[in-house]
Chains A and B, each alone.
Chain A
Amino acid sequence: MIETRNINKTFGDHHVLKNLTISFEKGKTNLIIGQSGSGKTVLMKCLVGLFEVDSGMVVYDDRNFTTMNFEQRKTLRQEIGMLFQGGALFDSMNVQENVMFPLNMFTKQLPAEKLERVNFVLKRVNLDNANLLMPSELSGGMRKRVAIARAIAMKPQYLFCDEPNSGLDPHTSGVIDLLIKEITEEYDITTIVNTHDMNSVLSIGDTVAYIYKGELWWKGNKETILHTDNEELNDFVFGTELTSRLKR
């Protein structure tokens, strides 16, 4: 479980996160939604420590991440996997080397053991036999799947996904969503997905938090989100022509 307690984050005069308290449950796919500029990416970067919070705390299973020193964070980060918007694969390495990278850095496994783990996770994301391809040879969906494989290579306890569907067609988006949900349940990990894709919300949103102007505006799940009377959330959910027609 991951919690934030009264976290604040400002950039100059711009108060991005305002006293935000929220919890993300273990074994569930926890979605953060909100309009562009609402603060959801900043929230995710605060959760993983890429941004330092100005006040408040981020807690990983009763471990206060905010007060940890570099070495303590380094240890905790080995329990974290993250899928970035563009995949963030290392351009100079092939698929196998990308997935093996955290194993090379943090484990003392034998080369054969590492290769076995790499092949296992690549198979898990349906990318067996792609070991020797370079990132430039992969499609958008394949890049995301390699990034997921790299994120789960170290058997993480926490998985963060920053807009995993951006730039993907609806079918591939569905495949990635399903993969994230399956992995979450299979390994019983705490998964946090940052998205503004309503398809994802309705298919994998075990819990859904709506961030509006840096505040937690609404919290529910994929069942309750369509029946709320929260005006701002409804504007967001039914903001497109398709969803507004469906509502009518």
Chain B
Amino acid sequence: MIKVFTTIGNYVLLMQKVFSRPQKGRIFWDQLMNEINFLGLESLGIVAFISAFMGAVVSIQTAFNITSPLIPMSMVGFTVRQSVILEFSPTVISLILAGKVGSRIASEIGTMRVTEQIDALEIMGVNSANYLIFPKIIASILINPVLIVFSMWMGILGGWIAMVMTGLVSTNDYVQGMRIDFQGYTIFYAITKTIFFAYIISSVSGFYGYITQGGALEVGQASTKAVVFSSVIIILFNLVLTQLLLT
């Protein structure tokens, strides 16, 4: 138990160092653009692939389960929309990003730690925590909502393509279902969750990378810890945020 509190304490202390004014605005801007590219745009492919296929699977499963003639086939579009917007895109895609982006952040910073690159920054008088972690947090907070909205779009598109190709539901029914009782607040809810999850992924992964000590083995362990703890914290916060935002 003491170890848990020590870890939380060290995390808070590190975040105090992270959230300070960058040394040079121009350098921070360059780093931010790089991180948006590395952490966000390079994830577009995997996000598109998973979202499209998950949307397709959800639509086929829903159509398969509608056996009563009293339930209109437009419910397929409705179900895909609700599943994708409320849960699949913000939470499941964030968990996937925790794996992809989190391990990258932890291993990159961890390697810099064990090869003394972070010590070199400190010796020069650079606030290494701020220099390395702050741009990643800001980039994730900016780009992850874009990825999630893109994921929503791909999920719904995947569902529609699956319905058209199988002939289970017509385009008219699918689109009609998607429009039933739409509330813009669900998008706000999804993006709010995404911003929290983006912060969790980048800060927790940055923390585990930054405190790495040892060699290649420890970098691997840091990477694993970053993914596991980011995922666990996302799941916990998913419940808390859902309770706060939807009730």
A pairs with B: yes
B contact residues around A49 at 8 Å (CB): 122
In the complex, which residues 41-62 of chain A have their Cβ closer than 8 Å to any Cβ of chain B?
48-50
Given A104-B27, A105-B23, the answer on whether A88 and B116 have CB atoms closer than 8 Å is yes
Q: Is B24 in contact with chain A by the CB < 8 A criterion?
A: yes
**Please, how many angstroms separate the alpha-carbon atoms of A102 and B111 in the complex?**
21
CA distance in complex: A123, B43 (Å): 41
Question: Is B7 interfacial (CB 8 A cutoff)?
Answer: no
Residues from chain B with Cβ under 8 Å of A105 in the complex: 23-24, 27, 124-126
> What chain B residues lie within 8 Å of A74 (beta carbons)?
125
A176 CB–B CB distance under 8 Å: no
Residue A82 CB within 8 A of the other chain = yes
Cα(A74)–Cα(B123), bound, Å: 8
Q: Does B164 contact A (CB under 8 A)?
A: no
Query: Which A residue's beta carbon lies closest to that of B23?
Result: A105
Q: Which of A82, A84, A89, A104 is close to B24, meaning CB atoms less than 8 Å apart?
A: A104
Q: Which residues of B contact A102 (CB under 8 A)?
A: 124
Interface string of B37-52 (1 = CB under 8 A from A): 0000000000000000
Chain B: CB-nearest residue to A162:
B116
Chain B residues, Cβ within 8 Å of A91: 111-112, 115, 117
Within 8 Å of chain A (Cβ to Cβ): is B120?
yes
Q: A78-B125, A105-B124, A106-B125 are known contacts. Are A50 and B119 too (CB-CB below 8 A)?
A: yes
A139 contact set on B, CB distance < 8 A:
none
Could you say which residues of chain A place their CB within 8 Å of the CB of B119?
A: 50, 84, 88
Contact A85:B116 (CB < 8 A) given known A104-B27, A105-B23 = yes
**CB of A80 closer than 8 Å to a CB of B:** yes
Asked if residues A86 and B115 are in contact (CB atoms below 8 Å), the reply is yes
Contacts of A76 in B (CB 8 A): 125
Is A219 at the interface (CB under 8 A from chain B)? no
Report Cα–Cα, A91/B116, bound state, in Å.
11
Interface residues on B, range: 10 to 19
Bound form: Cα–Cα A82–B119 in Å: 10
Which residues in B have their C-beta under 8 angstroms from that of A187?
none
Q: Which residues of A contact B126 (CB under 8 A)?
A: 105
The yes or no answer to A77 lying at the interface (CB within 8 A) is yes
| Mask: chain A, 56-97; 1 = CB below 8 Å from B; 0 = not | 000000000000000001111110101011101111000000
Nearest-Cβ distance from residue B181 to partner chain A, whole angstroms: 49
For A80, the chain B residues whose CB sits under 8 A away are 123-124
**Is the pair B124, A84 in contact by a Cβ cutoff of 8 Å?**
no
Nearest Cβ in chain B — how far from A175, in angstroms? 22
Bound form: Cα–Cα A244–B23 in Å: 53
Complex interface: chain B residues within 8 A of A73 (CB): 125
> Looking across the interface, which residue of chain B has its beta carbon closest to that of A74?
B125
Compute how far the CA of A212 lies from the CA of B148 in the bound complex, rounded to whole angstroms. Answer: 59
Per the bound structure, the CA–CA distance linking A76 and B123 in Å amounts to 10
A102 to B27, CA, bound (A): 12
Contact residues, B106-137 vs A (CB, 8 A): 111-112, 115-117, 119-120, 122-126
Known A50-B122, A91-B111; 9 more pairs at CB < 8 Å: A50-B123, A75-B125, A76-B125, A77-B125, A80-B124, A82-B123, A84-B116, A88-B116, A88-B120
- Give me the 5 closest cross-chain CB pairs, A-B, nearest first: A77-B125, A74-B125, A88-B116, A88-B120, A84-B116
Please list 15 pairs of residues, one from A and one from B, whose beta carbons are closer than 8 Å in the complex, sorted by A's number: A48-B123, A78-B124, A82-B120, A84-B119, A85-B116, A88-B115, A88-B116, A88-B120, A90-B112, A90-B117, A90-B120, A91-B115, A101-B124, A105-B126, A106-B124
